[in-house]
A and B are shown apart, each in its own frame.
Chain A
Amino acid sequence: DTGVSQDPRHKITKRGQNVTFRCDPISEHNRLYWYRQTLGQGPEFLTYFQNEAQLEKSRLLSDRFSAERPKGSFSTLEIQRTEQGDSAMYLCASSLEGFRGYTFGSGTRLTVV
């Protein structure tokens, strides 16, 4: 098991473009979480999945953001019409149901220019 994988590690995009990130969780983990971390801040919760169901979305997740986990395995996070304020590290974590703790991936750093 190689842990939680995120791809790409870095993404530079022009304002207004769409971007998509991928997260591959630990295979036996049924919960998958997305967090956003801006410079000088701790991670902030965006959304989470239990298997393929998206069960909670933060108010931080605007209409331009969408996340999917189609088969309960990998997940994608798409940002449409990117804005400079979207520049951040996007972190994925997975866990077992009821387990109070995560395994984080290394994150995708997004820079919007």
Chain B
Amino acid sequence: AQSVTQLGSHVSVSEGALVLLRCNYSSSVPPYLFWYVQYPNQGLQLLLKYTSAATLVKGINDFEAEFKKSETSFHLTKPSAHMSDAAEYFCAVDGGSQGNLIFGKGTKLSVKP
């Protein structure tokens, strides 16, 4: 069965610093993987997705993620954090043919000035 583990429920970085949010997955089939961002009291916005094409995936707002099959990882990075990046980030794996997503527990990103 598919599952996702996000390492670190809270990550704090300084403005301008590198952002690294970790995600490891478990899947019995080649996975589709997603990163979503959620601002307080809002729905989820898709940042980027891996669909078995290029292993380095670029998303919105300069975020990118690299699919590493050998490490079963799909970590999210951004070279330089902005205050507006403060939010909760969710990694998700496609649950299978029905199209439902299985989410991790989320990582809350704080950005210090």
- Give the chain B neighbours of A105 by CB distance below 8 A: 43
Over the window 96-111 of chain A, the binary record of Cβ atoms lying under 8 Å from chain B Cβ atoms (1 yes, 0 no) is: 0011111111110100
Among B94, B98, B105, the one with the most A-chain Cβ atoms within 10 Å of its Cβ is B98
Within residues 67 to 113 of chain B, which ones have a CB less than 8 A from any CB in chain A? 90, 92, 94-95, 98-106
Question: How many CB-defined contacts (below 8 Å) exist between A and B?
Answer: 59
Residues A40 and B105 in contact, CB atoms below 8 Å apart: yes
Interface size on B, residues (CB 8 A): 25
A21 at the interface (CB under 8 A from B): no
Residues B105 and A41 in contact, CB atoms below 8 Å apart: yes
- Give the chain B neighbours of A109 by CB distance below 8 A: 41
Binding site for A on B (CB under 8 A): 9, 32, 34, 36, 41-46, 49, 51, 90, 92, 94-95, 98-106
7 A-B pairs besides A48-B98, A106-B41, A107-B42 with CB distance below 8 A are A31-B99, A45-B95, A55-B98, A101-B34, A104-B45, A106-B42, A107-B41
Binding site for B on A (CB under 8 A): 4, 6, 31, 33, 40-45, 48, 55-56, 91, 95, 98-107, 109
